[in-house]
Amino acid sequence: MRLLLVEDDILLGRGLVAGLSQGGFATDWVQDGEDAEVALETADYDAVVLDLGLPRLDGLSLLRRRRTARDRTPVLVLTARDTIADRISGLDAGGDDYLIKPFDLAELQARLRALIRRSKGVAAPVLVSGRVTLDPAGRNVTLDGLPVSLSNREFAILHDLMQSSGRVLTRQQLEERVYGWSEEIESNTIEVHIHNLRRKLFPEVIRTLRGVGYMVPSSP
């Protein structure tokens, strides 16, 4: 899952990037509204965490612009003050959820998981594909009911494929979803992780469509 964090408070931004990355979100961080707009025009994000008070272009104006441009990326608004007017204007401008600062990192992650689930039309929090289940909140995977230990990257790749089950994701799409800007990507790394997932689960769990990409079949 790939996130865009828009936050001009350096300490909070650093903390959120670290915390969200540990929670399995590849997080790109920008510090003003104009950089956020460029990022949203050039990359594909599963969700945006948006502070409202920002330099250059404020959060509400950015949100209105993106919705006018038919960008439907889910947006969670961070508001500094607990005033009803702030919350209403955030939601009216096209926000999908909000949190009031200071907030709890675990709650932010849970709300983001719910937002992303809803935006992809997945109702159940636990994903199932045949013999495999994946629980994004508990960060665990089972095969035939038994727990399977996966690395963070393996988990992130399987999560993205299961969330899009029945659809093909290209290697580039997987790389974009699993790695943030700040991370180096080796050329064969997605293939290596897919190989390991097949070894730990079973070979047919992920199908390769030669020259196209990878797919987890949807459950019957």
User: What is the b/e burial string over 189-220, where b = at least 16 CB atoms within 10 angstroms of the residue's CB?
Assistant: bbeebbeebeebbeeebbeeeeeebbbbeeee
Q: What is the dihedral sign for C-alpha 163, 168, 173, 174? A: positive
| 12 counts as binding Ca ion under rule CB under 5 A | no
Residue 86 Cβ vs Ca ion, minimum distance, rounded to whole Å: 13
Residue 153 · residue 177 · CB < 8 Å? no
Stretch of 1-9, 37-45, 162-170, 178-186 lying at the interface with Ca ion (CB under 5 A): 1-9
Residue 101 Cβ vs Ca ion, minimum distance, rounded to whole Å: 9
Residue 7 Cβ vs Ca ion, minimum distance, rounded to whole Å: 7
| 86 counts as binding Ca ion under rule CB under 5 A | no
* Phi then psi dihedrals of residue 113, to 5 deg: -60, -45
Binding mask 47-66 for Ca ion (x = CB under 5 A): ----x-x-------------
C-beta atoms surrounding 153 within 10 Å: 18
Residue 27 Cβ vs Ca ion, minimum distance, rounded to whole Å: 17
- Nearest one of 65, 54, 63 to 89, comparing CA atoms: 63
Residue 150 Cβ vs Ca ion, minimum distance, rounded to whole Å: 36
Closer of 80 and 106 to Ca ion (Cβ): 80
Binding mask 93-132 for Ca ion (x = CB under 5 A): ----------------------------------------
Residue 124 · residue 137 · CB < 8 Å? no
* Phi then psi dihedrals of residue 157, to 5 deg: -65, -45
Stretch of 46-54, 108-116, 136-144, 181-189 lying at the interface with Ca ion (CB under 5 A): 46-54
Site for Ca ion, rule CB under 5 A: 8, 51, 53
